[in-house]
Amino acid sequence: MAKVLIAGRIPEQALNSLKEAQLDIDVFDDSEALITKDELIKRVADKDFLITPLSTQVDKDVINSAPNLKLIANYGVGFNNIDTDYAKTKGIPVTNTPKVSTTSTAEVACGLMISLAHRIVEGDKLMRNEGFSGWAPLFFLGHQLAGKTLGIIGMGQIGQAVAKRMHAFDMNILYSQRKPLDSTTEGQLGAKFATVDEVIKNADVLTLHVPATPATHHMIGADQFKAMKDSAMLINASRGPVIDEAALYEALLNHEIAGAALDVYEKEPHVDDGFKSLKNVILTPHIGNATVEARDAMAEIVAKNTVAMSNGDKPNYVVNGVTD
How many Å apart are CA 9 and CA 75, to the nearest integer? 10
**Residue of 122, 186, 198, 268 with catalytic role:** 268
Under 8 Å between Cβ of 97 and 91 = no
Residues 6+ away with beta carbon under 8 Å from 30:
none
How many Å apart are CA 232 and CA 148, to the nearest integer? 10
How many Å apart are CA 243 and CA 217, to the nearest integer? 7
**Residue of 165, 239, 245, 295 with catalytic role:** 239
Under 8 Å between Cβ of 189 and 163 = yes
Residues 6+ away with beta carbon under 8 Å from 117:
142, 143, 144, 145, 205, 233
268 is known as an active-site residue:
yes
239 is known as an active-site residue:
yes
> In this structure, which amino acid lies at residue 70?
K
**CA 22 distance to own-chain centroid:** 33
E strand spans, the chain: 3-6, 24-27, 49-53, 71-75, 94-95, 149-153, 172-176, 191-193, 205-208, 233-236, 259-262, 281-283
How many Å apart are CA 65 and CA 43, to the nearest integer? 9
217 is known as an active-site residue:
no
Catalytic positions: 239, 268, 286
